[in-house]
Amino acid sequence: MTHGDDQGLIFPHRLAHIQAVIVPILKTEAENGPVMETVNRVFAELKAAGIRVKLDDRTEVTPGFKFNDWEMRGVPLRIEIGPKDVEKGSVALARRDKPGREGKSFVPQAGLAAAVADLLTDIQKSLLEKATAFRDSHIFEPKDYDELTEVVQKGWAYSWWCESVECETKVKEDTKATTRCIPIDQPEGHGKCIVCGKDAKHKVYFAKSY
C-alpha cells in the first residue's frame, strides 16, 4: 500500500509472488522462432538461479497490454525480449518503481541472472528509501493542541500523551485522529500531555487511519 502509484501496486521483491515477468516481443513468423528460443532459455536460467520468474506467453493480447497488466499487479521487474535483443544478445529491463525511460536498461543475456538479482535488490533499497523519506517528511512535533489538530490533517503528530482515554477521545472527536503507536525508543524524562497538560511518560504518534 505504501509503495503503490497511479498505475497500481508495487511489490518489494522479497514479498513479490512474481519477481520478474518475461514478455516476448513477437513480430514476424521468421523472427518468432529465435525470439522464443531466447525467451525460453532466459526463463530457465533465471528460474534455476532462484528468481521467481513468470513467462507471459499469451498470444491473444499485445505486449503493451501485458506491460500494463503486470505493472498494475506490481511485479517489480519486466524483461522484454524481441528480435533486436536476439540479434544483440541483450534484453531490455524495465523497473516497476521507475516508470518510463528512467527505469529502462539494456543488459547482456550473459550473466543476466546476477544482473536481475542486483537490480531487484536495488529496487527494494530504493522503495525503502522513498517510503522512509515520505514518512519522515510527514512527522510533525506540534507545540500545542491547536497545532496538533492541524498537523494530523496532513501526517503524524509526535507528542506527549498522558495515556488517559479522555485525552485520546478528545483528539478523536476533534480531528478523527487516534494514537497509532507508542515507540519503544522514548526521549529521556517526562513531558506534558499535549491535550490536558498533565504529566506524560510517553511520546506517541497521533494520526488518522485510512
Contact residues toward Zn ion (CB under 5 A) are 162, 167, 193, 195-196
Instruction: Tell which phi-psi region holds residue 113, choosing left (phi > 0), alpha (psi between -120 and 50) or beta.
Output: alpha
Query: Helices (DSSP H) in 11-111: which residue ranges?
Result: 29-48, 63-73, 83-88
Residue 200 bridge partners (DSSP): 191
How far apart are alpha carbons 105 and 92 in whole angstroms? 6
* CB of 46 or CB of 171, closer to Zn ion: 171
Nearest distance from C-beta of residue 48 to Zn ion, angstroms: 60
Nearest distance from C-beta of residue 191 to Zn ion, angstroms: 11
Nearest distance from C-beta of residue 193 to Zn ion, angstroms: 3
* CB of 123 or CB of 167, closer to Zn ion: 167
Grid cell locating 18 = 512474481
* CB of 38 or CB of 159, closer to Zn ion: 159
* CB of 167 or CB of 207, closer to Zn ion: 167
Closest CA relative to residue 161, chosen from 188, 198, 186: 198
Distance of CA 25 to the CA centre of its chain: 27
Nearest distance from C-beta of residue 51 to Zn ion, angstroms: 52
